[in-house]
Structure 1
Amino acid sequence: MTNPDTGFYENLPALNIPVSKLVGDIGHFHQVPESWHIVAADIKNSTQAITKGQHHSVNLIATGAVIAMINIAYNAKINIPFFFGGDGAIALVPKEILLKTLNALQKHKINTFKNFELELKTGSLPVKTIYQENIQLKIAKLKVNEDLNIPIVLGDALHYAEDLIKNTIPEQEIIPDDKPLDLEGMECKWDKIKPPKIGQEVVSLIVISKNDTTSYKIFSEVLQAIDDIYGSPHRRKPITVQRLKLKANLRKINAEMKAKLGKFNLPYLIKSWMIGKYGKHIWLKKENGKDYLKKLVALTDTLTIDGRINTVISGTPQQREALTGYLDNLENSGKIAYGMHVSEESIMSCYVRDISTHEHIHFVDGGNGGYTKAAKSLKAKI
């Protein structure tokens, strides 16, 4: 790497402290280099699509968007921060891979419209522009456990850029090259996942701060309150190995195939169906399958802080009521706004480079369009 800015995120220290403590100390955060860019992909009219029962397709398309960006960076041997949303994805990328990233998203956009008749809005905004507008963009890296580090962003920059890309900036004219879209590692083999215990529910929560400059303080308090009410991140995680069930639903496998490959592929369909039908008895009995399951829960991403708190948690209705009461007080005092959606299960999509190592990450959303419906609830308040 000739440009020292290119390795910026790679070189950030991964802080092994509780997330509420990390967020509460602005000294842990760093300015993103001006030469980097915010890249976003967002499904237009995703709320309507989910209302029509297309929540599975929306989740697949969002997963494909984030994996398209990850793979460009992976092949360039660059580490980038990325953020999965239920109906889209955002990443910060250095200028060296900007055009390749936009090229990949353009291919994904074409596939999305062809196979799902949904429009994917894509584009980018220079970080330099963010700073010229005096919008905060600070980042830190959290060590969640031995296998997983995640980016933590403070400031409204990512959502400011996303809004411009969706609604204001003219679509960038990109003619994709002839290479096939690389969604290597995209796996969506798990069926809907029930909470760990009977009587529990899955909560999809989005919290924004009303004051961008002091968001770190209020976010720290909110994250601590979630710990106090629901327990540690491990205890409130909605995914357990015991609840995982491989899916052999041909309709869902067909949708996954079209999202990943952009076309019908009979061998892929048969292989995926066989894994769903018999994988529990064959694939998951092998040593690498067992190791994969052990790592899977540890590598499940249920918290995204991209200028907002986005989290999927499991617990009892009583715990949710306690959290809602706490958040209502903060909202009524003008400190935050929040959106919440409650469902009976969660859904998980996966990025798996190598099941025998820690090179996989699993994106979780609440069932029936959890994050998208939480965002709709939030939008009605602001």
Structure 2
Amino acid sequence: MPGHDAFYDTLPRVDSFAALTDPASYTPLPADWVIGAADIVGSSAEIAAGRYKTVNMVGAAVISAQVNGFGGRDFPYVFGGDGATFACGPDLAVASARTLGVVKRWAASEFGLELRAAQVPVANIRRAGHEVSVARYQASAGVDYGMFSGGGVSWAERQMKLGAFALPPATEDEVPDLTGLSCRWNNARSRNGTILSVVVDPTPAATREAFAAVADQIIALANRLDRGGHPLPPNGPGVSWPPPGLTLDAQVSRGTTPLRRRKLQLLVSNLMAWLLFRTGIRVGGFDPAHYAEMVSRNADFRKFDDGLKMTLDCDPDTVRRMTELLERAQRDGIVEFGLFEQDEAMMTCFVPSPLQDNHVHLVDGASGGYARAAAQIKSLSV
């Protein structure tokens, strides 16, 4: 039997998203693992004030800091727009908690955002009557994403919002390692009518089978759309110069470098990237056409995080059908849901190396999609 630090490495990759509605696709986490969670306090107000890109970037920073802190070791995580959840083994738990504290302090000092953070033992979750199971979804040949089932992650997030298992900010003014985190791509405009942010959670009374049946129907509706409702063009959303979000990108990547100097550095490096993508010229081992194609293939636009989250490029008829389906399921006591429409999708990216195909692209609606859809869900059970 493999050690716990090898647990996630041994899991099979599931290459069908529809198969993730099946509980058999998931494996329970070891009892001595922990769930890490973080979200931005008052994210709805921040988004309403136009800071949706900042909210997304700080949420993605939670993941990026852990990836860099773990030295490239694989672990399951889910991006939620205004935060993230993940799991790690006992050998990484202490370092993970410290990293969350560093990100919490950085979010406050760099952006004036209050980040809630918690670390919840899986054993405590099970004692509360919930399960935490995980699967690995193979989005492309280069990237797979963790998926959660069993209700335990949602319980951990609710406990965090109540103040339980809270982690304090770091006491020293330390900058998190966010190497590879960026937001340099353009937003992607809807080609079918609207970018629809979908958040669907099971009610406490719903059986796993009943929720799976509803999720199957939602996924089937999405699969009728062009490319399954993928919100990004096949060759990526494109780049421009000067890049959008230059100041935000500089704040995230500057470390201890003065902001003005970092912005100038990014202007130069992004000009070079823009020229390569515009001309298609290969430099060394970098093929801009292949990279742009992999951006779309690697996009994390649908996920299971105890419930179903999707960012879809939808036509009006699909929006109507999905709304009717979810309203019926809500009346039947199976789900609670939120839908939010906007014109564009946006990405926040984590690129360990532009020469490999393992770059990660976290997708959300460009007007605060997941957070605004989740805000429509009124009933939260503890």
TM-score, structure 2 as length reference: 0.90
Aligned to 2:350: 351
Return the letter of the residue paired with 1:207. V
User: Which stretch of structure 1 is more off in the superposition, 329-338 or 278-287?
Assistant: 278-287
The CA distance in 1 between the partners of 2:266 and 2:225, in whole Å, is 35
Return the letter of the residue paired with 1:350. C
User: CA 1:115/1:271 → structure 2, altered by over 3 Å: closer, same or farther?
Assistant: same
* Secondary structure in structure 1 of the residue aligned to 2:135: strand
Corresponding residue to 1:53 among 44, 50, 54: 50
* Secondary structure in structure 1 of the residue aligned to 2:246: helix
* Secondary structure in structure 1 of the residue aligned to 2:117: strand
The CA distance in 2 between the partners of 1:248 and 1:358, in whole Å, is 24
User: CA 1:226/1:103 → structure 2, altered by over 3 Å: closer, same or farther?
Assistant: same
8 Å CA contact 2:193, 2:313 repeated in 1: yes
CA RMSD for the aligned pairs? Answer: 2.5
> Equivalences for 1:175-254 in 2 at 5 Å?
175=170, 180-195=175-190, 197=191, 199-211=192-204, 214-215=207-208, 217-231=210-224, 234-241=227-234, 244-248=237-241, 252-254=245-247
8 Å CA contact 1:189, 1:246 repeated in 2: yes
Asked whether 1:81 is paired with 2:76, we answer yes
Asked whether 1:63 is paired with 2:81, we answer no
The CA distance in 1 between the partners of 2:244 and 2:224, in whole Å, is 37
The CA distance in 1 between the partners of 2:193 and 2:132, in whole Å, is 36
Return the letter of the residue paired with 1:62. G
User: CA 1:342/1:174 → structure 2, altered by over 3 Å: closer, same or farther?
Assistant: closer
Asked whether 1:281 is paired with 2:275, we answer yes
The CA distance in 2 between the partners of 1:40 and 1:178, in whole Å, is 22
The CA distance in 2 between the partners of 1:87 and 1:170, in whole Å, is 19
Identity among equivalent positions (%) equals 20
The CA distance in 2 between the partners of 1:97 and 1:229, in whole Å, is 37
Aligned to 2:17: 19
Task: Give the CA deviation at 1:69.
Answer: 1.3
The CA distance in 2 between the partners of 1:216 and 1:155, in whole Å, is 12
Task: Give the CA deviation at 1:369.
Answer: 0.4
Return the letter of the residue paired with 1:13. P
Task: Give the CA deviation at 1:209.
Answer: 0.9
* Secondary structure in structure 1 of the residue aligned to 2:336: strand
Corresponding residue to 1:32 among 29, 34, 45: 29
Task: Give the CA deviation at 1:3.
Answer: 7.7
* Secondary structure in structure 2 of the residue aligned to 1:245: coil
Unpaired stretches in structure 2, ≥5 consecutive residues: none
The CA distance in 2 between the partners of 1:242 and 1:108, in whole Å, is 33
Query: How many residue pairs end up in the alignment?
Result: 375
Task: Give the CA deviation at 1:42.
Answer: 0.8
User: Residues 198-227 of structure 1, C-alpha deviation per residue, up to 9 Å, x if partnerless?
Assistant: x42100000011147723542344234332
The CA distance in 1 between the partners of 2:274 and 2:296, in whole Å, is 17
User: Which stretch of structure 1 is more off in the superposition, 265-274 or 340-349?
Assistant: 265-274
> Equivalences for 1:72-111 in 2 at 5 Å?
72-73=69-70, 75=71, 77-111=72-106
8 Å CA contact 1:141, 1:151 repeated in 2: yes
8 Å CA contact 2:243, 2:270 repeated in 1: no
Corresponding residue to 1:167 among 162, 185, 191: 162
The CA distance in 1 between the partners of 2:173 and 2:187, in whole Å, is 36
Asked whether 1:259 is paired with 2:252, we answer yes
8 Å CA contact 1:32, 1:138 repeated in 2: yes
Aligned to 2:151: 156
Unpaired stretches in structure 1, ≥5 consecutive residues: none
* Secondary structure in structure 2 of the residue aligned to 1:53: coil
Return the letter of the residue paired with 2:44. T
Task: Give the CA deviation at 1:275.
Answer: 4.5
The CA distance in 2 between the partners of 1:332 and 1:59, in whole Å, is 32
8 Å CA contact 1:111, 1:259 repeated in 2: no
User: CA 1:225/1:111 → structure 2, altered by over 3 Å: closer, same or farther?
Assistant: closer
User: Which stretch of structure 1 is more off in the superposition, 283-292 or 62-71?
Assistant: 283-292
Aligned to 2:373: 374
Task: Give the CA deviation at 1:60.
Answer: 1.0
Task: Give the CA deviation at 1:14.
Answer: 0.9
Task: Give the CA deviation at 1:334.
Answer: 0.9
Task: Give the CA deviation at 1:240.
Answer: 1.0
Task: Give the CA deviation at 1:233.
Answer: 8.3
Aligned to 1:328: 327
User: CA 1:163/1:260 → structure 2, altered by over 3 Å: closer, same or farther?
Assistant: farther
Asked whether 1:135 is paired with 2:130, we answer yes
Aligned to 2:316: 317
8 Å CA contact 2:77, 2:147 repeated in 1: no
Task: Give the CA deviation at 1:368.
Answer: 0.9
* Secondary structure in structure 2 of the residue aligned to 1:205: strand
The CA distance in 2 between the partners of 1:206 and 1:225, in whole Å, is 11
Task: Give the CA deviation at 1:274.
Answer: 3.5
* Secondary structure in structure 1 of the residue aligned to 2:31: coil
Return the letter of the residue paired with 1:240. P
The CA distance in 2 between the partners of 1:118 and 1:254, in whole Å, is 16
8 Å CA contact 2:222, 2:228 repeated in 1: no
TM-score, structure 1 as length reference: 0.90
User: CA 1:213/1:222 → structure 2, altered by over 3 Å: closer, same or farther?
Assistant: closer
Return the letter of the residue paired with 1:38. I
The CA distance in 2 between the partners of 1:40 and 1:117, in whole Å, is 19
8 Å CA contact 1:20, 1:219 repeated in 2: no
Return the letter of the residue paired with 1:114. S
